[in-house]
Amino acid sequence: MMKTFPFFWVLVSWLGLSAQDVSVEGLIIPRDDEGMYLRNPDGRSEIEWSKETQVALEVNTRLFKGLKGNVLHYQVQASKEIIRFTLPKGPVTGIVAVRSKGQLQKRLKEAHEENWIGEYGLRLFFGESRPQQIASTDDLRFIGLWNSASNPRTLTIKGKKYECSLKKGGQTKALLFNVLTTRDCEPFVNRARVVGRRKGEVIHATEIHLQPIGDQAALDDPKLPRYLFIGDSIAGNYGRGLREFLAGKFNLHHPPTNCGPSAKGRSSILEWLGAYRQPGRHWDVISFNHGHWDGKIDKASYQENLEKIITELKKTKAKLIWVTTCPVPNGFPVAGELDENGRAPGRTAGVMRKYLNPWALEVMKKHPEISICDQWQFVKDNEDPLYKEFWAGKDVHFGGNPADKLGEFLGRRVLQVTGKH
């Protein structure tokens, strides 16, 4: 079944696409010189391109800080890999589309009174000039010359400069055109969103939005086993300690994203695992956790998500480790009962001990081959003095030595499970 995404309906208004167009995204896997496949949890979609197909590099606008001259330094998330993209010289046309006519007056007021145009959904055309305009009911697009060298960035429309930024918070992605071609749609190291027209079982691409995820094997020592650790920002906290503890013993990898809730894991696990059947891209051990983002989930949904994730993990033949979710400290309100729909009470002190961790362990007991790394208990057992400040605070994250020790604890479990201790 073809799946459409909320972003697609924004594209409909931006590009004037019809409702017959479709949008699909996933990991790129090879087909031939005239197309590719995209793999996602819904299956495999066949894509064909033509000379008219436009390819854009999709980047979080935060990465513009890595723009030096005409070279964009693209830092792959959760990796040391940096990809350098050379941008065409010359004028850069920036287009910001108002999502609906209902928002038009608000955006026009911001432009007039604040001299500001939010860069949400920014589309950049390098080496290209286009007629400039202010958004109107006839055309909801602001079009002007984009300047990344100014601080803040600007969009100049008919001689007037407007700040083009996210000064009111949040984050967004930009599409950079005239930077890539279909030849850059390399398999296994990119995911993509494709917008186009479906003809039979094939989608004929109008646009391809390329999202580099890095080459998982590029920096590997081929003599060492490969370890993938899946987690949220807590994994980001303990990642340094984990990497330092296992240095010289494993090639460590983390998906290029905050892995967030179990629903995200369920929908993204295939991409995170990558082309593990390819030589040098296999996984020897995988640890995984989803919990802090699931504070308001119900038991059935949580366990179903975990089961779906485990199904895919088992296919890798890797040794698997479930990492229990770390505590919510006592600075938060005490966890109450489940609501009328059976959902957990959110980020509250005790919610992991009472609900999420027991629910997860029920699942793991059905899969005795999955080992457990009980980080929750480690934080509890070392409450004084290592985690004394953490328990008294109101922040679920860790820093400094407490974070490093959490990583070391997981590292020791990895060595035990793999027989390398």
Whether 346 and 253 map to the same domain: the answer is yes
Q: Which amino acid is at 410?
A: L
Do residues 145 and 247 share a domain? no
With both helix axes pointing from N to C terminus, report the angle between 299-314 and 357-365 in degrees, rounded to the nearest 10.
40
Residue 7 has pLDDT above 50, yes or no: no
Domain boundary among 161, 183, 212: 212
pLDDT reading at 9 higher than 80:
no
Residue 217 counted as domain residue: no
21 and 153 together in one domain: yes
Picking from 100-114, 160-174, 221-235, 302-316, which range would have the lowest pLDDT averaged per residue? Answer: 160-174
Q: What are phi and psi of 112, to 5 degrees?
A: -75, -45
Q: Which of 157, 185, 212 is the last residue of a domain?
A: 212
Residues in the chain, overall count: 421
Looking at residue 269, what is its pLDDT?
Answer: 94
CATH number at residue 385: 3.40.50.1110
Domain end among 212, 237, 257? 212
Residue 220 covered by a domain: no
Q: Given pLDDT bands bounded at 50, 70 and 90, which one contains residue 18?
A: low
**pLDDT of 181 above 60:** yes
Q: How many domains does the chain have?
A: 2
Asked if residue 221 is part of any domain, the answer here is no
In a domain, 183, yes or no: yes
**Residues 280 and 395 reside in one and the same domain:** yes
Q: Are residues 177 and 246 in the same domain?
A: no
Task: Say if residue 8's pLDDT is above 60.
Answer: no
Answer yes or no: is pLDDT of 279 > 60.
yes
Residues 326 and 357 in one domain: yes
Q: What is the pLDDT of residues 364-380, one digit of tens each?
A: 999 999 999 999 999 99
Q: Are residues 198 and 264 in the same domain?
A: no
As a whole number, mean pLDDT of residues 5-19 equals 47
> Is 1 contained in some domain?
no
Q: Are residues 143 and 268 in the same domain?
A: no
Residue 169 sits in the same domain as residue 33: yes
Q: Is residue 167 a part of any domain in this protein?
A: yes
Checking if the pLDDT of 17 tops 70, the result is no
pLDDT tier for residue 216 given thresholds of 50, 70 and 90: confident
69 falls within a domain:
yes
Does 293 map to a domain? Answer: yes
Residue 300 and residue 205 in one domain: no
Distance CA 342, CA 26 (A): 33
234 and 204 both lie in a single domain: no
Give the Cα separation of 77 and 263 in Å (integer).
20
Q: Are residues 304 and 388 in the same domain?
A: yes
- pLDDT at position 5 is 43
Domain with 335 in it? 226-418
